[in-house]
Structure 1
Amino acid sequence: MAHEADVVVVGAGLSGLIAARTLLAAGLRPLILEADNRVGGRILTEEALPGLPVDIGAQWIGDTHHRMFALAEELGVPTFPQYDDGETSYELDGSGVLRENAFHARFSGELAELERVLRRLDEMAAEVPPAAPWLAPRAADWDAVTAGAWYDEQGLSPVARTLLEICTVGILAVPTVEVSLLHLLFTIQTCGVTAELFAESEGGAQTTRFVGGTGEIPRRLAALIAEHIVLDAPVQLIGHGRDRVTVHCRGGLIARARRVIVAISPTLAGRIMYDPPLPGRRDQLTQRLPNGSAMKAFFVYDEPFWRADGLNGQIISDVGPARMSNDSGVPGDAHGVILLFLEGEQARVCSQLPEEQRRAALTAELVRHLGPRAARPEAYVDGEWSERQWTRGCYNANCGPLVWTAYGSALAAPIGVIHWASTDTATRWSAYMEGAVDAGERAANAVIAELSDGHR
């Protein structure tokens, strides 16, 4: 079966859907080829109970995610604020379980240390050009050391160092010893300042959710361009010449076009064959960009009982197995929902356990923080991303030492008629949905410019 289009888009995640819609608005004919049997990519909403959505994948937007707010309004998807009233529960460095006010009182000096390091990170990140991190004045030095090694050199107390690790792993979904300091600074720079990354309150990256779940966004986007989407079409080979591409899918589907936008994570893009082969530098890049490791576990209760106890549902713990949590209840639904995050090493370890053992360990953690009622959920749902064939990890790709400086310029640069788009290539809010929209628009506009200039 052969299809003809102006532009083939590989992947029906948020970047791919945005790219296709942008192309269509410019009068071009896009064709999205999606390997999975659904759209959305790293966005996935399921039901924990009938009518109660939980976001197994991307869940929040932040106050400065202007593209996502505009998109939600355009698609008619209402938003609501993340619940944040009450105290967070802490359990760090042998402290036992402490409520937020007690924790802050006991460890005020350690928290001041942490604030000092965060401000230093902001100052350093301001020197990193988000479109070309390898050109930062101190890029060579920053790229030669891991974020974890730099953290260890800051003279932090155990509590402050542990908090910094938990917050950073919550963003990157890998231990800090696996990413370069330059990559961390790039992430901070694309998102503004550390306060915007780490906060769930005003100004943070996790302030707002979508009614019906985040999956409403790709579902409604796809409905607008449904005739341009083919599911269950894993791309195996992209043949490319001066002005034409031929895309071969498993099962025999063939698509021909003038351009192709590969809108999947770099590591998955590297598993496609290209004829002729891509430059070695691009291939070497994709060999060095692993996706993060992330898992989410939801406990559903008859009511959000912790709120009456003055708690906001947020846990920060180095005992675990989860390092963080939050209240993921839905307005208009009486159930209480606690989401536990397992990221980096915790996700890698716990995903290999039988579900019963994993659930028991997480239940014990909730009981420590929320009390005995936490042992009696009505439902439990979890989801891990590295086992998913067409994702192989979440939330994003991470650069280890010397990757940005040696290979970074190959990340988003087109190769002939091949363009790249995923949140990993964004220069604003990379690794977030906002970044996915940014990347999709950038790639589509580049293609539109090329084709409007008379390229055939």
Structure 2
Amino acid sequence: MMFRPPVVQADVVVVGAGLAGLTAAAELQARGRRPLVVEAGDRVGGRTAGHLVAGQLLDLGGAYTGVLHSEVRALADRLGIGLQPTEAPGSALFDLRGRLTRADSGHAAYSALAVGDLLELLEELSADVDPAAPGAHPNAAELDRLTVADWADQRITHPDARLFTDLLVGEMLATDTTELSLLHLLFYLRSGGGAHYLTAFSGGAQQDRFAGGAHALCERLAASLAEPPRLRTPVMRIRTHLRERLLVQGPGIAAECAQAVIAVPPGPAARIVIGPAGVGPDASRPSRSRSSGCAIKVHVVYDRPFWADAGLSGWVTADGGPVRYVTDDSAGRHGLGVLVAFLTGSCAAAYAAQPPATRRADVLSSLSRWFGAAADRPLEYVETDWRSQPFVEGCYAAVPPCGWWAETGPMAFIGRPADERIRWAGTERSPAFYGHLEGAVRSGLHAARSLLDNHRGHR
């Protein structure tokens, strides 16, 4: 006989215990509602996670915040979580076209003028994109059919600007220019505060990280709820046939509720069937799904930041594989040296296909080229492939296929499913700071407040 969990009664069910879902739940609770949070995974945090090394918590997922990220910084302040500046003294390295160049060497690694012109061109093009409705751009269909690679081939003539087009897309969206529409890139830039802000550390989107890890935001939000999140509780269906109630169902859950928030990434969300009994997937959602960015984050930990002895910051930009970007995460680590290597797009996919020993050897070989033989002897090597996380399926955020915004995107973006008792949340549902922790918090607040307004209207 098939086990059927008893039906429980709930006020609001929040599906997903990531930052967006927990923000929504905390806001609902603060306004007098009684949220029940259910999470398919075995922990809270979503695309944030921590790992303890030598008494230091490393951010395996989302980590950074900048001066424009007002909501997540206010949340951290309310929760008593401090900020740690990420700025590292020293010179950056550029490993481009087979030549290794120090930023302070007096030799230009690339044409700053050409790259500056590229950024200005992108800023100019993105200024006409409404982040709340990218598909409403008068040339949306054309911009959305055109890949960034094809656009760059047509418009970018300087080889350094062409190279940095690829590097910027990989760094910001964890995908390749051949897989990304120009409209989505322009939307992302407009949503996130512009190319200069998005790529900067000091004064930019990576200026600070959260002391104790970004996942501490989720852990403290979860601890603040009257009813702890129910883990290992996937949701498969939300039935809407009841006149006044929804029925949220999964292998370990059957909950009747007045309203619901779906706060999981687009891939898992697309598999939740919404509608009356016997009805297939929710017709209000797009027929063309969004895939997630392909990002692997590697922490390489040393007993001290030895690269500083040579006047290096620990930051690297490279055009070869597998590692394209390295940052120093040693600040505030009580003397521990931490390098964070990012592998994105097709480089990450090729890397993930290799055996673990080969992957480690490849990364350490790159670090040794940049920082010397001492880089080959870490205390710990921690690799996080977000594509392999079953309830996440990729980072940093969803990347729509070409044509998605112009054809179907507005129907699933920031709005609501066909049933007015349900709201979406998640960083992909925010028109501001899409793909960032700030976007997740804003979407959770928006979903909660929208449901509260709807609830008051019904009452």
Fold equivalence (TM over 0.5): yes
Quote the residue 2:178 is aligned against. 177
Q: What are the within-5 Å matches in structure 2 for residues 5-404 of structure 1?
A: 5-47=10-52, 49-94=53-98, 96-102=99-105, 105-107=107-109, 110-202=111-203, 204-225=204-225, 227-241=227-241, 242-251=243-252, 253-276=253-276, 277-280=280-283, 282-284=285-287, 287-404=288-405
Deviations 1:354-394 (A, max 9, x none): 21110101111001111111111111111101111111111
Question: How far off is 1:337 after superposition?
Answer: 0.6
What SS class does the counterpart of residue 77 from structure 1 fall into? Answer: coil
For 1:115 and 1:132, the matched residues in 2 are separated by 28
Moved more, 431-440 or 149-158: 149-158
Question: How far off is 1:26 after superposition?
Answer: 1.3
> Contact 2:266/2:289 (CA < 8 Å) preserved in 1?
no
Q: Assess, with a 3 A threshold, how the Cα gap between structure 1 residues 226 and 340 changes in structure 2: closer, same or farther.
A: farther
Deviations 1:228-268 (A, max 9, x none): 421110011111135421011213x2111111111011121
For 1:122 and 1:441, the matched residues in 2 are separated by 28
For 2:289 and 2:227, the matched residues in 1 are separated by 36
For 1:330 and 1:235, the matched residues in 2 are separated by 40
Question: How far off is 1:403 after superposition?
Answer: 0.5
> Contact 1:326/1:339 (CA < 8 Å) preserved in 2?
yes
Quote the residue 1:2 is aligned against. 7
For 2:50 and 2:149, the matched residues in 1 are separated by 33
Task: Find out whether 1:410 has 2:415 as its counterpart.
Answer: no
Gaps of 5+ in 1: none
What SS class does the counterpart of residue 230 from structure 1 fall into? Answer: coil
Q: Assess, with a 3 A threshold, how the Cα gap between structure 1 residues 304 and 156 changes in structure 2: closer, same or farther.
A: farther
Deviations 1:196-220 (A, max 9, x none): 1111122x11110111111111111
Moved more, 417-426 or 159-168: 159-168
TM-score normalised by the chain length of structure 1? 0.95
For 1:292 and 1:107, the matched residues in 2 are separated by 28
Deviations 1:119-142 (A, max 9, x none): 111111111111111111322221
Question: How far off is 1:107 after superposition?
Answer: 4.6
Deviations 1:428-447 (A, max 9, x none): 10100000001111111110
> Contact 2:87/2:202 (CA < 8 Å) preserved in 1?
no
> Contact 2:247/2:255 (CA < 8 Å) preserved in 1?
yes
> Contact 1:117/1:154 (CA < 8 Å) preserved in 2?
no
TM-score normalised by the chain length of structure 2? 0.94
What SS class does the counterpart of residue 256 from structure 1 fall into? Answer: strand
For 1:226 and 1:334, the matched residues in 2 are separated by 39
Quote the residue 2:440 is aligned against. 436
Moved more, 326-335 or 36-45: 326-335
> Contact 1:133/1:139 (CA < 8 Å) preserved in 2?
yes
> Contact 1:84/1:201 (CA < 8 Å) preserved in 2?
no
Equivalent position amino acid for 2:60 in 1 = I
Question: How far off is 1:4 after superposition?
Answer: 1.5
For 2:343 and 2:289, the matched residues in 1 are separated by 23
Question: How far off is 1:165 after superposition?
Answer: 1.0
What SS class does the counterpart of residue 440 from structure 1 fall into? Answer: helix
For 2:153 and 2:329, the matched residues in 1 are separated by 33
Moved more, 14-23 or 156-165: 156-165
Question: How far off is 1:84 after superposition?
Answer: 2.7
Deviations 1:133-154 (A, max 9, x none): 1111322221120122112222
For 1:420 and 1:400, the matched residues in 2 are separated by 20
Equivalent position amino acid for 2:90 in 1 = G
Q: Assess, with a 3 A threshold, how the Cα gap between structure 1 residues 332 and 359 changes in structure 2: closer, same or farther.
A: closer
> Contact 2:118/2:161 (CA < 8 Å) preserved in 1?
no
Deviations 1:404-429 (A, max 9, x none): 01101112321212211110010110
Question: How far off is 1:187 after superposition?
Answer: 0.5
> Contact 1:113/1:156 (CA < 8 Å) preserved in 2?
no
Question: In the comparison of the two structures, how many residue pairs are matched?
Answer: 447
Question: How far off is 1:270 after superposition?
Answer: 0.6
For 1:224 and 1:32, the matched residues in 2 are separated by 12
For 1:265 and 1:332, the matched residues in 2 are separated by 32
For 2:74 and 2:47, the matched residues in 1 are separated by 20
Equivalent position amino acid for 2:104 in 1 = N
